[in-house]
Chain A
């Protein structure tokens, strides 16, 4: 089944404790991206990647890192999480960067205490 898989689904952590949210897609998509969703603010893009080893900042990249060493994986790294990063995170992918038909993962609800 074609899908975007995120893990974990829920995560509670404390301020300053490094964490990684994984994202994997099995559709051989070139484009991958991360979004955060907060009440009243819709989806805001954090980082995106047009292909392996190519990443770029979205609207709200501060406090986040990403890497794209393999085509299928695009992990989101929070080196030193803070409470304002408490949010619902979504990973998405599309065939190519010029195709806006995105496939989304099920989301990761992160709480930073």
Chain B
């Protein structure tokens, strides 16, 4: 079983901020949280990775509370091209298990 739980789908409109939360109640002390984006017929693409508090790059921000049992991927001002499936990944030993992902649909 995957270690992570995410909403199955989300809808948004262009220009809005989107927050996708992932639950990982059994995260180990040394585990990082990694997020990926996948477009149809393509392999997933790394977006952002964090261990605690907040990480920001040119694409997204990742917020991780102190207990690290969840994390939130924040996409600022989404556009139609952000329509994709988003996965959070928490490693279990050396097994990189993905959850079912969140299908984000951005509408005009």
Give chain A's interface residues, CB within 8 Å of chain B: 4, 31, 33, 35, 40-45, 48, 50, 56, 58-59, 90, 92, 94, 97-98, 100-107
Which stretch (B40-48, B65-73, B76-84) binds chain A? B40-48
- Count of A-B contacts judged by CB separation below 8 Å: 67
Write 19 A-B pairs (CB below 8 A) sorted by A numbering. A4-B43, A35-B98, A40-B100, A42-B98, A42-B99, A43-B44, A43-B98, A48-B94, A50-B94, A56-B95, A90-B44, A92-B43, A97-B94, A100-B89, A100-B91, A104-B44, A104-B45, A106-B42, A107-B42
Give bound CA distance, A46 to B34, whole Å: 20
Give bound CA distance, A90 to B49, whole Å: 21
Q: Are B97 and A59 in contact (CB under 8 A)?
A: yes
Residue B63 at the chain A interface, CB threshold 8 Å: no
Mark interface residues in B28-44 (1 if CB within 8 Å of A CB, else 0): 00101010100001111
Which residues of B sit under 8 angstroms from A104, Cβ to Cβ?
43-45
Give bound CA distance, A97 to B31, whole Å: 12
For chain B, give the interface size range: 20 to 34
Which residues of A sit under 8 angstroms from B34, Cβ to Cβ?
100-102
Residue B2 at the chain A interface, CB threshold 8 Å: yes
Which residues of A sit under 8 angstroms from B87, Cβ to Cβ?
42-43
Closest 10 CB pairs of A and B: A104-B43, A42-B100, A43-B98, A100-B34, A97-B94, A42-B101, A90-B43, A101-B46, A104-B44, A100-B91
